[in-house]
Structure 1
Amino acid sequence: MTMDEPGGLSVEHMISCPVCTECFRNYLKEIKQSPASLNVGDWASVKPVDSTQKDTQPELFYFTQKFRTYAVGKVLSIQRKSLETAYGAKFPVNVNFSDGAVAVANFGCIGVDYFDLLDSDEQNSIWSEDWANGSSTRQCTSYNSELMRSAAMKHNQVLGHYLIGYSGRTSWTMKTYTASHVARDNKILNAYWYGPVWSAHEAGPPWNNHSIQARTDMWYSLAEIVREIGAAEDLLYPAKKRKSEVAICYSSSADIWEMGQNYAYGFERMHTWLALTHNQIPVDFLSEKMIEDGWLKNYRVLYFSGTAISEKAAIEIKNWVLKGGTLFLSAGAAMKNQYNRKLDIFDSILPAERLPVQEFAKFLYSGRYLDYLKPEDTVTLKQTGETFDVLSVKQVLKPKQGSQILATFSDSTVALVAGKAGKGTVYCAGFLPAIAYMRIALIARNEVMKQTEDIDKISEPDPSSIVSDALLIKRAFEPWKYPEHYRNLICMPVYNAKVDLPVICSVPLVDAVIMDTENGSVVVLSNYTFQPIKKLDLEVKVLKRVKKVESVHNGIIEFVQKSGRIKFSIGLKETDFVKIYYR
């Protein structure tokens, strides 16, 4: 660990620094850009630009933002090489990037793009922390881990995480957060911070101290999760999360152009991941470059939220759909290219003409405040009559002949439509269902908070007991009442594509992730219902004939194996690691 919470290179500095300007030009030459491609007359006119020039020089603005990560990567590379030379060995070298990717769901705001950074093999590790105090739910720290894991798929960099043990953490949630990070390939964990109580700037009197040494109420759960990981370590340490057939496109182009404009699109991407995860649908994130390089061919379903995407990635997605892929586009998705100019590549495969986006409210806060958004309209699903709130933006759709109208706005204009394109399927939504999913859960949690008196005087309930909402808020200061019909709508493209899910679970909101190694698999379970589950039914797709199934908490488990899958049931409190040994 060489630095704590670095950001990307400051644009203000770049503009005024002749050395940075020259490095910027060299970077552009390295990636095969030219004055013509940058829409300027000569290399002398190539300079970093800030947001005041983004409309007049969009190419230079775009690459100025991309250069911020490139510059940080070069510094980290120098640090790594220096340390390896000094110690005469190779080992993970990293910095703590904190959870900036969670705060406003936009890489551009921290100036560090995980995908650009880890696309280079000059980096061998990446690190973060599960702070996320401004997040809609701290389960989104697992979203941060998912981004790191996905960015590391190309070069297999080592992942690590600080585990925060204070500021609202409870015994239950410390375990669930930790297990969810482990399930997403974090191999190095550091409890932040142990102590002693007098030794750091975050110290204080023993009765109000941030160190784990002073948090006696956390000792048991921290010891337990360490022992759970140890009990599964024979399979868990070498295991990697199984690749998914479902992907979410992480568009850095969208981040660049949405920075300081509207973070609703980025939060739609984040909470689409959350809704899929709540229904045990595993997700990989794919960057534009990964899609350009052909990674999409291994996936069945792709979700996209965000205003912009590179033209090369758009062409790959279009061709992938025509060959049989399923694409879900939320309101305003992919209507601009990487330089914020109109993009029409998708027009021929869309089931509807998309009218201009109506922006009701710019959302420029952290996810914790999504409940500030007010519904501007409602969407009604034709088949069931279920309704959905319209937040931040709205886009009316004009269906093409042969497409299927799935939902309408209150004035009967079309809000959701699906249609065939070649061998594939495209869904177009004129609203952002995932942020509405999260908003309802936040409102429900906040209502419980209002009705709970003297919450500071309430003790955290025993994890084996089913408790009321008033006590549940003490067990986990997190939302838990998520609207099922929103989640089902978001997951619909996956179910309609008949994706063969690796883990099928009887209870939503249980994070159930399968990891594989040569001799077996591990199903990592984190219970975000925050209530003990007496009987959890699981069906797992296995890779070989199974010799035995063993739970860290429940011991040897009876199972039935048929057609490449096994079925079994267990009880679950906070977390468990189910080991599947192959013959």
Structure 2
Amino acid sequence: MMRPLRIILAFAACSSWLPCARAADNLAVDASFESPLPSWFNERMGTSYYAGKEAVDGAADGRMVLAVEGWDRAGSKILSGPILLDFPQAESSRVSASAAVRSFGKTEGATFELALFDEAGKKKLATFGRLPLDGKATWQIVSQAGVDFDRDAKTCRLGLVPSGPQDDARIEVDCVGLFLGPDLGKVTGNDDLAVVEAEEMADGTIWQAVDHYGGWYQGTPSRMKMLAGPNSIPAQDNRPVSRSISVGLAGPHKLWVRFLSAPYAGRFTVALRQGGTMVAERAFVENVDQIVRAKLMDEPGGMNAQSIAASEPCRKKFADWLKAQGLTPERLGVKTWDEVVPVVADRSGASPELFYYTGLFRLEAFATLAKACVQAKKAFLPDTMLTYVNYSPPTSGGSWTERGTDLFLAHRQGGMELVWTEDWLGYSLGPQHLSDTLALCRAAGRPENRSLGAYCVGQATPELMRMKYYTLLAGGVRDIECYDYGPWYAGIDSWGRQFDLYPAIRQCNFESGAIDPYLRGTVRRKSEVAILYNRTASIWANEDNSCLLNGGFTHWALAHAGFDADYLAEEDVEAGSLSGYKALYLDGRQLGRQSAAAIADWVKQGGVLFATAGAASCDQFNRPLDLLEPVFGASSAEFEAKAAAGRPKYELRGLKPLDHLEPAASSESPAVPLDQFCYRERLDATATAQVVLRDSQERPAGTLNKAGRGTVIRIAALPGISYAYEAAQSPYDPDSYLPRAFRAELRDFMSWPAKLAGAAAVAAADSPIAEIVRYDAADRAVVFIIDHRAEPVERFTFVLPDAAGFTRALAATGAAVELKAAAEGKLSVTLPMHIADAVVLLRADAAKN
């Protein structure tokens, strides 16, 4: 191996197989699948099937077989590696082949064929027979000797072709033979394996032996070491390292090398010499211009506050950071800079200013690290390589802030260039959690127009996979990686053998491909409804995620009512971004004074504000805040945080109501009763406010107030938590991830402020829990529909406003779409719906495809 430049290399094993070329010998590599290497046959071809080696009882030869599951009804071609057929000139061009096959499960009507295909795997060149699969776990032989073959087809592939219906079925293949000539030869194990651990070639100078990554492929490589060249070396010192490999059988061998593919500059070469003669050589060159993204961290968290407080460098940096903002010790609640130190939660009451800034510093520290990585990347790597981390949504408890991450800080002003998350269902109620997470991702990346990406994690059922995939597309994700924990024999694989998921993923890929030309160049329709991302309240809440989840479930309710909603950070509000919105939803007891003042001014100019339990009753230092009380027409009284919402799948479902609120008589608001969860509170209403809710003691618990040209609804409850809690009760099955029983009256109450403000809805659907998202271009619109009922519907109808002029439509699924013009420029769209779809609407003058 020559190493002309700095690279990182990790060999796992050098190994060999023997495909003999003489007419009497078997050309099928690893005929009995006994080699510990991956199968010679492709283990996957898209999502058409799954195939892999397994040790089983009763193998036809040895202990291993090739197991096949999840094949296509129309047939799946499981192709071998390329085979060079070198017919002797004096002999006829005939071939013979055989394989042992047994099947399990429901396979009535299914068959198995053994055939030869061209090198591309497209054209069938010869067949050696087809047999019915009986599901009886009995070995059968499919074979044919002396099949005529076109000798001009020099290179071909052997194919195993299962087809037909199957239900929880499995095929096992063993003893595969392929022979030149009219006769079948003996078929048995023909693998000759020689393994060399790459780290044995380390010379300690140029190449070094380093630890492999623990937890991944434990035991493979067997010593958990790898060969690496992490340091630059002068060109004159570069020299090859080598290791002799002894083989047990004569004849051609293949050298297999496994290495860690990582971004590096330059190249390295792997070569095989036999008897002093070079017989094979390959150079590996990494082209960094082809790398489109660079992952910095997975599921990151910030440094915890206790570590920051105990770290002398952090303490110094903390003080320097505060000085750079023009703050003084007096404004921080102390007398000298020597007293300015990071403060943890148990001292927050004594030093509220320092506690708040410690929380903010912790978030800024994570963002600073991210920005430093971005700057390093920009200095040495192309702009086409986008930096990102994978954010795991905090449905496992706590909040983004409690974890020490802040998407707004990390992706703005020189931050990471790609916003990335995952759709693992985990502790959530259902896949719609992803929808509000993506809304947050879009908001964080909005100023710099950051792209969105996500892992689509295989799990649960085909129906849920479809919902998750379409939620990603609807949410604006244009870089989707179907996350694969495999191979299946690695300890962390969770779904590699859930074969029923593969067709669902494949179908979604086909459908997204059908609409991709139309989706390109579109822009998400502007929302006029906003939800505040209250960083200040999250700093003070610590592990209490009640307000965060209330905002998320408010996003759900608004979507069910036909509205899209954007998240706004406090800095967005302070910068005047509220002017582009007609309604704002506000959660969180603490709020910065500048944000509170901006919200009050916006209301007076005509905005509609919906504020929940304890909202903005304290400032960023947890001191009483009365800036919003005049617009609320009420003040908070007897506020107590009694419980945290916790994980939606668990603690939230077990919450106990603290009180029951009933609509007040003669109220202008929708008459909707609801329970208090998590926070107990009553309101002291002013004379100008109308009481719309009362608690069990007939005290005010909700008010409606006019302020300037605007309107404020203030309630002493978390309606989003109530909305989710009710839907998550029996008969909801938490393992189904399909909450359906959302109360329509509560949804309408929560969307009432948006309607009161005159905010434009995206659509109105005949499903009470559908989510509809629209993307527009000059001559077309792409509309995503996700019906959270998750049931087939023969005729699903939605009405789209501002849709005059659309005369043609096509669905991603290929379903027939009916269009009917309605009054006021609206369009009624009807199609059969199976959980999710996308409809492309085209104007009369749009180019036809």
Q: Is the counterpart of residue 35 in structure 1 residue 329 in structure 2?
A: yes
Name the counterpart of 1:568: 829
Name the counterpart of 1:219: 502
CA contact (8 A) 1:549 1:559 kept: no
SS in structure 1 opposite 2:527? Answer: coil
Give the counterpart of 1:329 among 611, 618, 626.
611
Structure 2 vs 1, CA of residues 421 and 529 (structure 1 numbering), >3 Å: closer, same or farther? Answer: same
Q: CA deviation at 1:37?
A: 2.8
Name the counterpart of 1:289: 571
Give the counterpart of 1:188 among 470, 479, 497.
479
Name the counterpart of 2:554: 272
* C-alpha separation in 2, matches of 1:172 and 1:525: 14
SS in structure 1 opposite 2:776? Answer: strand
Q: Is the counterpart of residue 427 in structure 1 residue 713 in structure 2?
A: yes
SS in structure 2 opposite 1:40? Answer: coil
Q: CA deviation at 1:312?
A: 0.4
Deviations 1:349-376 (A, max 9, x none): 12234322144x3226212221211123
Deviations 1:319-353 (A, max 9, x none): 00001000111111110111111111012112234
Q: CA deviation at 1:23?
A: 2.4
Q: CA deviation at 1:172?
A: 0.8
Structure 2 vs 1, CA of residues 543 and 32 (structure 1 numbering), >3 Å: closer, same or farther? Answer: farther
Q: CA deviation at 1:266?
A: 2.5
Give the counterpart of 1:390 among 657, 670, 676.
676
* C-alpha separation in 2, matches of 1:432 and 1:194: 38
Q: Which has the higher contact order (CA 8 A, sep 6+)?
A: 1
Q: Which runs of 5+ in 2 are unaligned?
A: 1-294
Structure 2 vs 1, CA of residues 285 and 172 (structure 1 numbering), >3 Å: closer, same or farther? Answer: same
Deviates more, 1:303-312 or 1:476-485: 476-485
Q: CA deviation at 1:296?
A: 0.3
Q: Is the counterpart of residue 103 in structure 1 residue 103 in structure 2?
A: no
Residues paired across the two proteins, number: 544
Name the counterpart of 1:155: 448
Name the counterpart of 2:648: 367
CA contact (8 A) 1:445 1:480 kept: no
Name the counterpart of 2:523: 240
Q: Is the counterpart of residue 50 in structure 1 residue 344 in structure 2?
A: yes
SS in structure 1 opposite 2:638? Answer: coil
Q: CA deviation at 1:194?
A: 6.2
Q: CA deviation at 1:143?
A: 1.5
Q: Is the counterpart of residue 300 in structure 1 residue 582 in structure 2?
A: yes
CA contact (8 A) 1:180 1:511 kept: no
Code of the residue aligned with 1:233 in structure 2: it is D
Q: CA deviation at 1:223?
A: 0.7
Q: CA deviation at 1:512?
A: 0.5
Deviates more, 1:73-82 or 1:378-387: 378-387
Code of the residue aligned with 2:820 in structure 1: it is F
Code of the residue aligned with 2:321 in structure 1: it is Y
Q: Structure 1 or 2: larger strand share?
A: 2
Structure 2 vs 1, CA of residues 349 and 558 (structure 1 numbering), >3 Å: closer, same or farther? Answer: closer
* C-alpha separation in 2, matches of 1:105 and 1:269: 14
Code of the residue aligned with 2:492 in structure 1: it is E
Q: Structure 1 or 2: larger helix share?
A: 1
Q: Is the counterpart of residue 128 in structure 1 residue 421 in structure 2?
A: yes
SS in structure 2 opposite 1:312? Answer: helix
Name the counterpart of 2:492: 202
Name the counterpart of 1:459: none
| Structure ID, larger Rg | 2
Deviations 1:484-533 (A, max 9, x none): 12111111112222322122222121111112234422111112111122
Give the counterpart of 1:521 among 781, 785, 796.
781
Structure 2 vs 1, CA of residues 357 and 234 (structure 1 numbering), >3 Å: closer, same or farther? Answer: same
Question: Normalising to structure 1: TM-score of the pair?
Answer: 0.88
Code of the residue aligned with 1:175 in structure 2: it is R
Q: CA deviation at 1:399?
A: 2.9
Deviates more, 1:187-196 or 1:431-440: 187-196
CA contact (8 A) 2:409 2:415 kept: no
Q: CA deviation at 1:245?
A: 0.5
* C-alpha separation in 1, matches of 2:448 and 2:596: 24
Name the counterpart of 1:18: 312
Structure 2 vs 1, CA of residues 34 and 445 (structure 1 numbering), >3 Å: closer, same or farther? Answer: farther
CA contact (8 A) 2:820 2:827 kept: yes
Structure 2 vs 1, CA of residues 28 and 353 (structure 1 numbering), >3 Å: closer, same or farther? Answer: closer
Name the counterpart of 1:76: 370
Name the counterpart of 1:410: 696
Give the counterpart of 2:467 among 176, 181, 190.
176
CA contact (8 A) 2:371 2:414 kept: no
SS in structure 1 opposite 2:784? Answer: strand
Q: CA deviation at 1:547?
A: 4.9
Structure 2 vs 1, CA of residues 83 and 402 (structure 1 numbering), >3 Å: closer, same or farther? Answer: closer
Structure 2 vs 1, CA of residues 573 and 499 (structure 1 numbering), >3 Å: closer, same or farther? Answer: same
* C-alpha separation in 2, matches of 1:522 and 1:366: 34
Deviations 1:385-442 (A, max 9, x none): 6532222223222332243222222222222220211100010111222211211111
Question: Normalising to structure 2: TM-score of the pair?
Answer: 0.61
Code of the residue aligned with 1:95 in structure 2: it is V
Code of the residue aligned with 1:218 in structure 2: it is L
* C-alpha separation in 1, matches of 2:654 and 2:434: 22
Code of the residue aligned with 2:647 in structure 1: it is S
Q: Which runs of 5+ in 1 are unaligned?
A: 204-209, 450-472
The 5 A counterparts of 1:534-549 are 534-542=794-802, 545-549=805-809
CA contact (8 A) 2:672 2:749 kept: no
* C-alpha separation in 1, matches of 2:306 and 2:314: 11
